[in-house]
Amino acid sequence: MSLTSKAIDRIAPSATVGVNTRAAELKAEGMNVISLAAGEPDFPVPDFAQEAAIQAIRDGKSKYTAPDGTPELKDAVRAKFKRDNGIDYDRSEITINVGGKHTIFNAMMATLDVGDEVIVPAPYWVSYPDIVQFCGATPVIVECPADAGFKMTPQQLEAAITPKTKWLVFNSPSNPTGAAYTKAEVAGLVEVLRRHPHVWILADDIYEHIVYDDFEFVSLVQQAPDLKDRTLTVNGASKAYSMTGWRIGFAGGPKPLIDAIRKLQSQSTTNPCAIAQAAACAALQGPQDFLADRARAFQERRDLVLSMLGQVDGLKTVKPEGAFYVYPDCSGLIGKRTPDGKTLDTDEDVATYLLESEGVAVVHGAAFGLSPAFRISYAVSSEVLEDACERIQRACAALT
């Protein structure tokens, strides 16, 4: 009898977490590694969030909380959705979870049955299809190539919907490409969704504050309030407030779904960390003006990485509208030989070569469902980024 379940055997370890962990191990072993693997901002956690965590510890706020979050944090999240997205949620329509990934995992676990389908535009964040598969459902991958700006068209969405479709996963700005849908583009998808009332929408807005060149982010329910009763609007503290390790994700959605998530969470984590909840509450309630400053810093980094990768023969990079990722097409490197005489057959070979030859960790495109490419997370300082891009230039120039 097999030790592992069929469910666990259906999924792979997360490639983003895996490459990042490997890069940290190599660094600890003394290798000069620059990790562009993790989607993790290098900025500090805002002081006021740090202070709130320390105060919560001092005040003894270290007991169990309600399974799906404290009333204080739920109210802070409600105020955030109102302030940033113009969406009104009741407290009973809010759930707090152990990171955005956990929010998505819970939502899928609470709703999917074998045979259900979930539409996932590719390139996708690594965990979407695996979470769906873990639940025994089927990811329906819609390929959105670079020449379409990595965006799904209304026609593609229409063609992907079947009577079995349970969810559309909609992530804008996107991980791993940084592509963000304009209001007009969202409107086009909304038209299709209106025709298919059985389809739920998981709007993953985690990168909403990181947009460039006056791009105007719009949350799906903000654009289409009539879809509110079948949309889960997902967000979290990780990317905006650099609170990746604190693990606070949250969502607003219809009460029956929120209730189901609470039931599941009461049987798994019991509650998200009480101290992290207090910190996230302060992060959401404090001054928010630094978010625009950080977005400007990310934009400078984006421009730096685009200009330096633009000098590399064999790479083609689309200019992203948001997030902190670029997704260069590396088809021009496939078939080339490394100084060690190895042929680069896949984008995983390219990523391995960059790591072994120059100590730059990136995540191969196969993990995100569109190859050959790789993902660079430019959430590092400009100095580190410049060094990393010089290394990539050198590694690519050494290929024959």
C-beta of 100 vs 372, nearer to ligand GLU: 100
Where b means 16+ CB within 10 Å and e means fewer, 46-66 reads beebeebbeebeeeebeeebb
C-beta of 126 vs 258, nearer to ligand GLU: 126
Q: Are 330 and 345 in contact (CB under 8 A)?
A: no
Which region among 54-62, 89-97, 124-132, 306-314 touches ligand GLU (by CB under 6 A)?
Answer: 124-132
Strands (E), the chain: 34-35, 94-97, 117-122, 138-143, 165-171, 200-204, 231-236, 249-252, 325-326, 360-361, 363-364, 374-377
Burial of 237 (0-12, 13-18, 19+ CB in 10 A): buried
| 30-59 binders of ligand GLU (CB under 6 A) | 38-39
| 83-112 binders of ligand GLU (CB under 6 A) | 101
C-beta of 231 vs 238, nearer to ligand GLU: 238
C-beta of 127 vs 242, nearer to ligand GLU: 127
Can you tell me the distance from the alpha carbon of 285 to that of 272, in angstroms, rounded to the nearest whole number? 19
> Closest separation between CB of residue 88 and ligand GLU, Å?
28
Which region among 11-19, 216-224, 245-253, 297-305 touches ligand GLU (by CB under 6 A)?
Answer: 11-19
C-beta of 175 vs 317, nearer to ligand GLU: 175
> Closest separation between CB of residue 237 and ligand GLU, Å?
13
CA distance to 48, 81, 102, 217, 317, per residue, from 241 (Å) = 11, 16, 18, 18, 28
Which residue, judged by CB position, is nearest to ligand GLU in the bound state? 39
Does position 14 interact with ligand GLU (CB under 6 A)? The reply is: yes
Does position 16 interact with ligand GLU (CB under 6 A)? The reply is: yes
* Per-residue binder mask for ligand GLU (CB under 6 A), 167-206, x = binder: --------x-------------------------------
> Closest separation between CB of residue 17 and ligand GLU, Å?
5
- Three-class SS state of 131: helix
Which region among 14-22, 134-142, 280-288, 381-389 touches ligand GLU (by CB under 6 A)?
Answer: 14-22
How far is C-alpha 383 from the geometric centre of its chain's CA atoms?
A: 25
Q: Which amino acid makes up residue 104?
A: I
> Closest separation between CB of residue 40 and ligand GLU, Å?
6
> Closest separation between CB of residue 171 and ligand GLU, Å?
10
Can you tell me the distance from the alpha carbon of 375 to that of 38, in angstroms, rounded to the nearest whole number? 10
* Plot region of 300 (φ>0 → left; ψ -120 to 50 → alpha; else → beta): alpha
C-beta of 44 vs 197, nearer to ligand GLU: 44
Sheet of strand 165-171: strand arrangement? 94-97, 249-252, 231-236, 200-204, 165-171, 117-122, 138-143
| 247-286 binders of ligand GLU (CB under 6 A) | none
- Three-class SS state of 173: coil
Does position 17 interact with ligand GLU (CB under 6 A)? The reply is: yes
Binding stretches for ligand GLU (CB under 6 A) = 14, 16-17, 38-39, 101, 125-127, 175
